[in-house]
Amino acid sequence: MSAFLIEARNLNFYYGTFEALRSINISVSQNSVTALIGPSGCGKSTLLRIMNRMCDLIPGSRVVGSLRVFGREIYDPNYDVTELRRNVGMVFQHPNPFPSTVFENIAFGIRIAGENGKENILRSVEESLSAVDLWSDLKDRLNFPGQNLSMDFQQRLCIARAIAIKPQILLMDEPCSSLDPIATQKIEELIFELKKKYTIVIVTHSMHQAARVSDFTGYLLKGDLIEFDRTESLFKRPKDTRTEEYISGKYG
Ligand SMILES: Nc1ncnc2c1ncn2[C@@H]1O[C@H](COP(=O)(O)OP(=O)(O)OP(=O)(O)O)[C@@H](O)[C@H]1O
Ligand SMILES: [Mg+2]
Digit-coded pLDDT (tens) for 22-59: 999 999 999 999 999 999 999 999 999 999 999 999 99
Query: What is the structure's pLDDT at 244?
Result: 96
pLDDT, tens digit, for every residue of 58-94? 999 999 999 999 999 999 999 999 889 889 999 999 9
CA of 95 to the centre of ligand 1 (A): 19
- H or E element at residue 95: none
> Phi-psi region for residue 31, left (φ > 0), alpha (ψ -120 to 50) or beta?
left
| Cα three-residue angle 175-178-182, rounded to 5 degrees | 85
C-alpha span between 116 and 111 (Å, rounded):
6
Query: What is the structure's pLDDT at 113?
Result: 86
Q: Which atom of ligand 1 is nearest to the CA of 16?
A: 4
Query: Where are the domains positioned within the chain?
Result: 4-97+168-247
Class at the top of the CATH hierarchy for domain 4-97+168-247: alpha beta
Query: What is the structure's pLDDT at 83?
Result: 87
Assess whether pLDDT exceeds 80 at residue 251.
no
C-alpha span between 202 and 222 (Å, rounded):
18
Going by alpha carbons, the residue nearest to atom 28 of ligand 1 is: 41
CA of 249 to the centre of ligand 2 (A): 19
pLDDT, tens digit, for every residue of 238-249? 999 999 999 998
Q: Which atom of ligand 1 is nearest to the CA of 38?
A: 21
pLDDT, tens digit, for every residue of 101-142? 999 999 999 998 888 899 999 999 999 999 999 999 999 999
Going by alpha carbons, the residue nearest to atom 7 of ligand 1 is: 15
Beta bridge partners of 221: 224
